[in-house]
Amino acid sequence: MTQKSWFERSVHKCFELTIVFDVFRKILHRDFFKEKNILRKELELQKRTLDFGCGSGPYSTLFSKENYVGVDIDAKNIGFAKKKYQKEFIVTSGNNLKSIKKVDQIFAIDVFHHLPDDVVRTCVNEFRGILPKNGKVLILEHFPARQQTNILGKLLMTFDRGKNIRPREELSMFFTESFTIENSYEYYAAGVRDYTLLLKKKR
């Protein structure tokens, strides 16, 4: 295992503080302007929605209290989100979603590059279990450093805390047995080249 540099360790330590990471990301992503527009475009905001890997809950503002549930493995993030947004937030991992009331659609923004292959496979099965036929999954993810088109993107992806940054084709393959790819396109947010995957459950 490669030892992290002093700089990398320091950055990761700072970002373990939810309020620091929340403020940093809001500034860098202009209050998630691009991501929120994609959610408005690709999802039906009046339907019951699961925010998988919700972090501090910034996307919950797009949904009513009745139509939103956010899950994250980090209890500090969930505590912060509950206090700030007063909505349904649950501490859980990707292999324990069956206790959640059925949802019509799921989105996951910058989550899967933190997960190893076996956990991604489990998440796909869990998503399939709580979605109805034709239920949607919307994924927003980063291209790896080698596929970034500018120095900033390459630098940010090199030092990103997620160590499983996958090309679009590689991540798509985890879903193709149970989901159909409805749409996919690229976009830039905070200087990083990202991609979307809009998937629909087959059966």
CATH number for the domain harbouring residue 188: 3.40.50.150
Give 99 or 78, the one with higher predicted confidence.
78
- Residue 30, domain member (yes or no): yes
Predicted pLDDT of residue 159? 84
**Residue 62 vs residues 10, 32, 46, 53, 80: alpha-carbon distances, Å:** 33, 12, 9, 16, 18
**Which residue is it, tokens 């990202």?**
194
- pTM summary value: 0.86
Does a structural domain hold residue 64?
A: yes
Domain assignment of residue 69, yes or no: yes
In a domain, 175, yes or no: yes
Predicted pLDDT of residue 173: 97
The pLDDT of residue 20: 54
In a domain, 186, yes or no: yes
CB atoms within 10 A of CB 117: 11
How many structural domains are present in the chain?
1
pLDDT tens-digit map of 123-154: 999 999 999 999 999 999 999 999 999 999 99
Residue 22's pLDDT is 56
Q: How confident is the model at residue 28 (pLDDT cuts 50, 70, 90)?
A: low
Q: How confident is the model at residue 108 (pLDDT cuts 50, 70, 90)?
A: very high
**How many Å separate Cα 130 from the centre of its chain?**
17
Domain that holds residue 60: 6-201
Task: Name the percent of the chain lying above pLDDT 70.
Answer: 85
> φ and ψ at 181, to 5 degrees?
-80, 115
Spatial separation of the C-alpha atoms in residues 168 and 104, rounded to whole Å: 24
Residues 90 and 36: beta-carbon distance below 8 Å? no
Residue 11 has pLDDT above 50, yes or no: no
Question: Which residue is it, tokens 């087959």?
Answer: 202
185 lies in some domain: yes
Mean pLDDT rounded to a whole number for the chain? 88
Q: Who wins on pLDDT, 24 or 192?
A: 192
- On whether residue 1 sits in a domain, the answer given is no
Confidence of residue 23 (pLDDT cuts 50, 70, 90): low
